[in-house]
Structure 1
């Protein structure tokens, strides 16, 4: 199993406006005929000219397999708890390279526009559509809501470069303005140039006001740019570490391991639109099968956030089973003297049991409520703000294995590394 120590990202949020006034002129990063992009050239050109947190040094191993690509994932845990993940891509002809927040449930693509006021939009590389010969104005505007906050701008179309994969005529949003102080938008303003969603390839989705548009994975699949219509996520365990997003392939070290396949659900309610979702049969603890919670017609979605979000009745039942209490702290807590006796948490997806150990769903350290200097132990569970929402499963599940999203077979794959040749079992579970 990967180590579970926590790395805290420390960053500064203030800077002189004069430093940034001419930092990001319009730029042509690659000559028009430089496709496919050499991965190491991409890395060197993407380095920022002023030292910032999370400076991208995207050193990608060149692939010899057409229709595949490996994108490096950067990670950080804000305050030691809130995970964010970044990768790089390029827009336009010639290419303009950007650092993008990754999301699993969002299916679109947005990038900061050159004309966006730095006071509103923060400081980063900005997309300049006048420099791209393949840019088209869609004649629409968009507004993305998150809680009571939003970003808005114009809808455009241009080519997207995912390392060696060229995806043409992708519809995306050029951000002109941000409003509000939502943490995700603040992160995008100050530490990224935009966001890319890896939601399932639906024919269209309501990302933008007054229009329905194909999402980014729809473009990838419909244009047959992948060797196989799969993507494999290998998330880093700790903040500051590197991971990978494999497009069109499963990495060699995982391809021959034991595997689990879970069919995606076909449910299409508004609350589940454009999410990778599976059916949840039950949730139980390994030491008390009598505490099994049967869940007819309940679905789970996956996201790149911390912890597990549950309907209130499931949440209350699991806290009782685990002996944890909700004291309005960051997470429910329990007595650390019980650490060694904490059971596995077992999710059953379409008849497939997947167990998480206490190291996966628990956290311990000296960060308890009040002025206590005693060690605190807690479970990374939270209650859904609406009971009709599905179970949401975060990075504690996703980073434990190579997770394969198979768009041809409609299956979620959990692939593990073998302990050693000839030895049964999964190294991730050791």
Structure 2
């Protein structure tokens, strides 16, 4: 069974009017205007780079290269759940025992009455993702990720779920910036940070290829065994999603997308790569891909002849070989590129697991930057 997983792209249903205020420029903005930001980020050396002993590594299970899932517990005594660690959203939720949607029938559900530390907030919540939506209510309890303990952690409890049928996970743990939290609650990473759980407010992902074991999310630093060479740091361009600026995308030395620069979000909750429809069409022309049932079919032999798709980010090329962007499903092969997603702005890409399997990724909240290096 194959899943197309698209979490993290959240659609807000409310419009907020914000009156303009005179804004004082931050150091980051001033440096960016003077083109000094990259030098500044390089000078802020990763203080844990030589001290791997402070790193906490949490295993993730790879389900058919479509979604990566890790275990957490909620409550006293702890109740265990499988969640997607999603850099594209900021909320934590799991199914409530009162959920009657078909998607909840085969999932682990949280029973508040079995937890002595549970507190019900009662506030109704609706969380919208690219894959579907959930409706429920807010509560708070003790949440554990391995040895990390987040006290009084707010989280959502779903009573209705749409679009999550057959998924191999119970809920989602968002790791994006607090500004995109739809519940208004402090995300678990921020809660742990404020409680002094780690000496450096960073997390990182290594996503395995093909095999179910070996993938990890790590907190508090980086483990150098998971990547080759040096980390290249890219400043975050928008503090909502983990968004960065991208210079261009090329194949065979020709620019096929992003010719005037564009944006990209790094999203561990998305299985493929999304881009503006016209740009993805250019890539599919080079691939000689043909449309079929809202996807694009490619000759399986093309994996040996097609060039890499090269994303140039912050002046550095990140090649994506055809072995990565061509997905074999039974006797056919599909393109990992998707176009025309309505939630995207005209110049924004979503680089999902197809990209992140090739590149070890570090998300540095304190310095508002992302580190990338070839994965081992």
Q: Is the 8 A contact 2:2 2:66 kept in 1?
A: no
Q: 1:365 to 1:162 in 2, by over 3 A?
A: closer
| 1:361 aligns to 2:325 (yes or no) | yes
Equivalent of 1:245 in 179, 192, 217: 217
Q: 1:355 to 1:165 in 2, by over 3 A?
A: same
Q: Is the 8 A contact 1:98 1:193 kept in 2?
A: yes
Match of 1:116 in 2: 99
| 1:125 aligns to 2:90 (yes or no) | no
Match of 1:207 in 2: 182
> Secondary structure of the residue that 1:253 maps to in structure 2?
helix
Quote the offset at 1:406 in angstroms: 1.5
Aligned residue runs from structure 1 range 270-289, under 5 A: 274-285=240-251, 287-289=252-254
Match of 2:345 in 1: 388
Following the alignment from structure 1 to structure 2, what is the Cα–Cα distance between the partners of residues 91 and 195?
13
Q: Is the 8 A contact 2:266 2:351 kept in 1?
A: yes
Following the alignment from structure 2 to structure 1, what is the Cα–Cα distance between the partners of residues 176 and 253?
36
Q: How many residues align?
A: 326
TM-score, normalization: structure 1? 0.67
Match of 1:42 in 2: none
Q: Is the 8 A contact 2:275 2:341 kept in 1?
A: no
Following the alignment from structure 1 to structure 2, what is the Cα–Cα distance between the partners of residues 416 and 147?
28
Q: Is the 8 A contact 2:295 2:334 kept in 1?
A: yes
1 or 2 for the larger relative contact order (CA 8 Å, sep ≥6)? Answer: 2
Equivalent of 1:73 in 50, 60, 81: 60
Following the alignment from structure 2 to structure 1, what is the Cα–Cα distance between the partners of residues 113 and 302?
62
Structure 1 alignment gaps of length 5 or more: 1-7, 11-63, 269-273, 369-376, 418-427
Between stretches 292-301 and 213-222, larger displacement belongs to 292-301
Match of 2:365 in 1: 407
Match of 2:172 in 1: 195
Quote the offset at 1:231 in angstroms: 0.9
Match of 2:194 in 1: 222
Structure 2 alignment gaps of length 5 or more: 4-51
Look at both structures and tell me which one has the larger radius of gyration over its CA atoms: 1
Following the alignment from structure 1 to structure 2, what is the Cα–Cα distance between the partners of residues 195 and 337?
37
RMSD: 3.0
TM-score, normalization: structure 2? 0.76
Match of 2:232 in 1: 260
Quote the offset at 1:339 in angstroms: 4.2
Aligned residue runs from structure 1 range 78-227, under 5 A: 83-117=66-100, 121-146=104-129, 150-178=133-161, 180=162, 182=163, 185-188=164-167, 191-200=168-177, 202=178, 204-208=179-183, 212-227=184-199
